[in-house]
Amino acid sequence: MKHGRYPFILSFLALPVGLYAWLVILPFAQAFQISLTDWSGSTNTFNYIGFDNYANLFKDDRLVIPALQHTGIILVVLPVVTIALGLFFAFMLNLGGRSRQGRIEGVRGSRFHKIVFFFPQVLSVAIIGILWKQVYAPENFGGLITGALTAVGLPAPANGFLADKRFVLAAVIGVLVWSAVGFYLVFFSSAMASIPRDLYEAGIIDGAGRFQMFFKITLPLLWDSVQTAWIYLSIVALDVFVLVYMMTPERGGPDAASEVVGGVIWKYAFNDGEQAFASAIGVVLFFAALTLAVVSLRFGPRERIEY
Amino acid sequence: MTITPADRQAIFTRRNLFGATAAGLAATSLGACATSGGDDEADEVTVGDDAENPFGVDGSAPLDVVIFDGGFGQEYAVAHQAMYNEAFPDAEITSLATQQIGETQQPRFAEGKPADVLDNSGASQLPMDSLVSDGELAELTPLLDAPSYDDPEVTVGDTLREGVLKAGTFNGKVYALNYVFNAWTIWYDAKLFRDQGWTPPTTWDEMIALCPTIQAAGIAPWTYAGQHPVYLYDMYLMLAGRHGGVQVLKDIDNLVADAWSNPSLVAAAEALRNLGDSGYLLSGSAGIDHIQSQTAFNNNEAAFLPCGSWLPNEQKAIAPEGFEYAPMGVPYLEGSVQPGLISAGGDEPFVVPKNATNLAGAYEYLRIMLSQEGSQIFSDAVSAATIVKGVELENETARMTDALVQNPEDMFQPQFRYWYKKMDDEMRPALGQLINAETTAQEFLDRMQSVADEVAADDTIEKFTHED
């Protein structure tokens, strides 16, 4: 039967692979092609101009350079903060409580907390953007945080957080963390559930505190999950666009203080009529993402601990 | 892009799977979807002798119209299309009303199959500068030279208000018909001013003197849409232009060397900065959008608001009882040489793509829009004026605006915002910082001068100049 097997398999693969090639690989390949032209996006004529777009890319200190810096910052801060918070909350909810009769449990009401933390995950990004835009609004216009700060006598930016160059990027990252942490809390919780309790009980008998239990037992055994979370969050970080588009003044402002790479690609492609330049940024982003994925997978696997 | 059966054959043998896929990709990507449209030779339309049908429209040819479904809606366009169908009953009209002009129309241009008439407006409009420099738009000269709909003795061009075609003119050629007549003004509530006994200020000093009085009434003197500093453009530029004369602004548009160091621009920048510095802006203004600023204005939280002529119509449904929208020119600085200067002219650019299938029909459609009846339809539907002369204005606000734009010499729309996207992108945040006193006037001007120099030095950017 071996003879007929491949056509059989291929006949199943043809459609998905064909669609994938047509809808994913081909547009990618075309972005490379377009990035070598001067195509504006709204004409069917263009010239090949070599690597000029790439050369100009790193001279653009109005949009591209700030965007690369901001995306870089998000790439570092978002995974670190989200994973740290996710792990902390998951630990507290699963193992952080008082041990009663030798049993280790989470803090009181942990199931309720889990659900509440997960809420942002079920909201669409657009809703999150609108919601937080209001939360960050100027005090005069019903901003929650600015209002709360003033109420307790602390200084708050008069024009709200999003119109202030110093705070806007942090404000966007804050929303990203807020909306992601619930998912990673649940993600890490389920991973923690598979760690045998006797390890902790042994730890307690040996006099380990919560702090030691976390760093000596939980974290090493969760390393695979942390790594997965890291890759996911890095992809999210490279992809930040909708929130910036929804929340910030001039979609990346004020004065480019919250520009991210995705947003700059959109601006060049659809606002400025420089589709080719946008494609060049896209290609750079593609290679950045690829490098990131390769690096994290290469340096990833530690020795697996069987338990 | 199509996959031919031959490709399929080659790809789906096991041994060649990878190689063929790669080769197939390489081959198709060279002529694939986004960049593969044919470049047909565009037809030319000439003006014939028949006053009824000067462009020689084929009555059975379909017409494809795209309308920006924004503040003006699409009601008027439906009526215009009915007029077209009255003249050509066999023509099938496809009409799309959308806010996503860029998203829906850019692919059609790329494919070489654009609409026949396109209302290229709104936040996602296609950039006019690249459409023009790509040669994607048809010149509107045949339309302007054609006999008008109502009177064959008068050309279409002669039925228009003076100066309204400037906004759509690129290097002396008219590519866009800016159909709506718009003026950028400063708005105030006439009732509030009457009740409080305030006189609307005509000079900047009067305005500044009035500010403490306004504040004493618990009202902030000014607000604006801080998230969209574009609303400050004409306030700042007219302040400078009134002071130094229109040439100051033309020099900016024409990228004249050191245009931004003109003393009038300095004076206007300092005046604007002083507003924020003196605390005359409604607190939080920099963080709000146009809806919030207009709501604050409607609620009498702020006395002055810079906005365009569409404001009263836009607020129609939500305006508070008794609120009287009144426009005025920006209060001018002492020593102004052209205190009547105002940013007014055509807005809402209608374009005809060069590769339009029914070019003659597109011109005819625009000719119908510019007829007295077509113009009246628009005015009735949205209570805003069109660029056609001699249409009766019933609305009080519209009449007040009209009074501001009596002298054609004083009408000027700064163009660098449309001509050079790069300068526009720099101007917006720079203005926002200036009015909030986050930069000095000099820093603001230096910043604008350096981007102007960059644009001037960049050979890849097509340059435009004012005719006179």
Which residue of B30, B39, B422 is in closest CB contact with A45?
B39
Q: Are residues B73 and B145 in the same domain?
A: yes
Model ipTM? 0.80
Residues 6+ apart with CB under 8 A from A282: A31, A35, A265
User: Per-residue pLDDT tens for A80-91?
Assistant: 999 999 999 988
Please name the residues between 19 and 58 in chain A that touch chain B, using a CB distance below 8 Å: 21-22, 25-26, 29-30, 32-34, 37-46
Give a yes or no: residue B148 inside a domain: yes
Residues of B in contact with A62 (CB under 8 A): 422, 425-426
Q: State the Cα angle at B173 between B168 and B179, rounded to 5°.
A: 30
Calculate mean pLDDT across residues B365-379: 91
Please name the residues between 231 and 260 in chain A that touch chain B, using a CB distance below 8 Å: 249-250, 253-256
DSSP labels, B279-323: T-BPTTGGG--HHHHHHHHHTTSEEEEEEETTHHHHHTTTPPTT-
- Find the closest chain A residue to B431 by CA distance: A255
Percent of chain B with pLDDT over 90: 56
User: Per-residue pLDDT tens for B162-197?
Assistant: 888 888 888 889 999 999 888 899 999 999 999 999
**Does the beta-carbon distance from A255 to B124 stay under 8 Å?**
no
By residue range, what is the domain housing residue B306? 183-344+416-457
Q: Are residues B317 and B205 in the same domain?
A: yes
> Is the bond into B62 cis (omega within 30 degrees of 0)?
no
Domain boundary among B402, B425, B440: B402
Q: Flag whether residue B286 sits within 8 Å of chain A, measured between CB atoms.
A: yes
The total domain count for chain B is 2
Maximum CA extent, chain B? 89
pLDDT bucket at B440, cuts 50 / 70 / 90: very high
Domain boundary among B363, B380, B402: B402
Q: Are residues B325 and B428 in the same domain?
A: yes
Q: Are residues B209 and B81 in the same domain?
A: no
In the prediction, which pLDDT does B295 show?
93
In the prediction, which pLDDT does A195 show?
85
CA gap B417, B427 in Å, rounded: 8
CA gap B462, B452 in Å, rounded: 13
Is A73 a residue whose pLDDT tops 80? yes
CATH level 3 topology of A34-298: MetI-like fold (1.10.3720)
Q: Are residues B243 and B168 in the same domain?
A: no
CA gap B234, B231 in Å, rounded: 7
Residues of A in contact with B430 (CB under 8 A): 255
Q: Are residues B229 and B349 in the same domain?
A: no
Give a yes or no: residue B264 inside a domain: yes
Calculate mean pLDDT across residues B353-363: 93
Q: Where are the domains of chain A?
A: 34-298
**Does the beta-carbon distance from B286 to A255 stay under 8 Å?**
no
Give B203's DSSP letter: B
**Does the beta-carbon distance from A45 to B227 stay under 8 Å?**
no
Pairing mode, if any, of strands B343-351 and B117-119? antiparallel
Pair of tokens at residue B124? 């996602």
User: Per-residue pLDDT tens for B324-333?
Assistant: 999 999 999 9
In the prediction, which pLDDT does B207 show?
96
Pairing mode, if any, of strands B117-119 and B176-189? unpaired
H or E element at residue B65: strand B63-68
pLDDT bucket at B79, cuts 50 / 70 / 90: very high
Instruction: Give the burial string for A125-162 (b: 16+ CB within 10 Å, else e).
Output: beebbebbbebbbbbbbebebbbeeeeeeeebbbbbbb
H or E element at residue A122: helix A110-122
Q: Are B289 and B225 in contact (CB under 8 A)?
A: yes
Residues of A in contact with B428 (CB under 8 A): 250, 253
Q: Flag whether residue B449 sits within 8 Å of chain A, measured between CB atoms.
A: no
Instruction: Give the burial string for A209-225 (b: 16+ CB within 10 Å, else e).
Output: ebeebbeebbeebbbeb
User: Per-residue pLDDT tens for A289-301?
Assistant: 888 888 877 776 5
Is B17 a residue whose pLDDT tops 50? no
Q: Are B343 and B242 in contact (CB under 8 A)?
A: no
Is B16 a residue whose pLDDT tops 50? no
Calculate mean pLDDT across residues B201-213: 95
Q: Are residues B238 and B374 in the same domain?
A: no
**Does the beta-carbon distance from B12 to A44 stay under 8 Å?**
no
pLDDT bucket at B12, cuts 50 / 70 / 90: very low
Percent of chain B with pLDDT over 70: 89
Residues of A in contact with B106 (CB under 8 A): 41-42, 270
Which residue of B25, B36, B127 is in closest CB contact with A29?
B25
Cα–Cα distances in Å, from A60 out to A54, A56, A64, A289, B319?
Answer: 10, 6, 6, 21, 44
In the prediction, which pLDDT does B264 show?
95
In the prediction, which pLDDT does A74 show?
95
| pLDDT, averaged across chain B | 86
Q: Are residues B72 and B203 in the same domain?
A: no
DSSP labels, A186-204: HHHHHHHHTS-HHHHHHHH
Give a yes or no: residue B393 inside a domain: yes
Is B8 a residue whose pLDDT tops 60? no
- Mutation site, B11, B12, B13, interface A, largest A CB count within 10 A: B12
Residues of A in contact with B133 (CB under 8 A): 40
CA gap B403, B418 in Å, rounded: 27
Q: Flag whether residue A72 sits within 8 Å of chain B, measured between CB atoms.
A: no
Q: Are residues B298 and B425 in the same domain?
A: yes
DSSP helix/strand/coil, B260: helix
**Does the beta-carbon distance from A43 to B30 stay under 8 Å?**
no
Residue B40 has, within 13 A of its CA and on its CB side, a CA count of 15
- Mutation site, B4, B35, B435, B461, interface A, largest A CB count within 10 A: B35
DSSP helix/strand/coil, A17: helix
Pair of tokens at residue A241? 């666009």
Is B22 a residue whose pLDDT tops 70? no
In the prediction, which pLDDT does B422 show?
86
Q: Flag whether residue A62 sits within 8 Å of chain B, measured between CB atoms.
A: yes
CA gap A99, A111 in Å, rounded: 17
User: Per-residue pLDDT tens for B212-246?
Assistant: 999 999 999 999 999 889 899 999 999 999 999 99
User: Per-residue pLDDT tens for A147-172?
Assistant: 999 889 888 888 899 988 899 999 99
Q: Are A129 and A138 in contact (CB under 8 A)?
A: no
In the prediction, which pLDDT does B28 show?
40
Q: Are residues B213 and B337 in the same domain?
A: yes
In the prediction, which pLDDT does A255 show?
87
pLDDT bucket at B293, cuts 50 / 70 / 90: very high
Q: Are residues B320 and B440 in the same domain?
A: yes
- CATH of residue B196: 3.40.190.10
Which residue of A43, A162, A164 is in closest CB contact with B136?
A43
Give a yes or no: residue B132 inside a domain: yes
**Does the beta-carbon distance from B226 to A159 stay under 8 Å?**
yes
The distance of A69 to chain B (nearest Cα, Å) reads: 19
Q: Are B416 and B252 in contact (CB under 8 A)?
A: yes
Please name the residues between 172 and 201 in chain B that touch chain A, using a CB distance below 8 Å: none
CA gap B414, B421 in Å, rounded: 13
The distance of A81 to chain B (nearest Cα, Å) reads: 27
The distance of A184 to chain B (nearest Cα, Å) reads: 32
pLDDT bucket at A302, cuts 50 / 70 / 90: low
Q: Are residues B212 and B124 in the same domain?
A: no
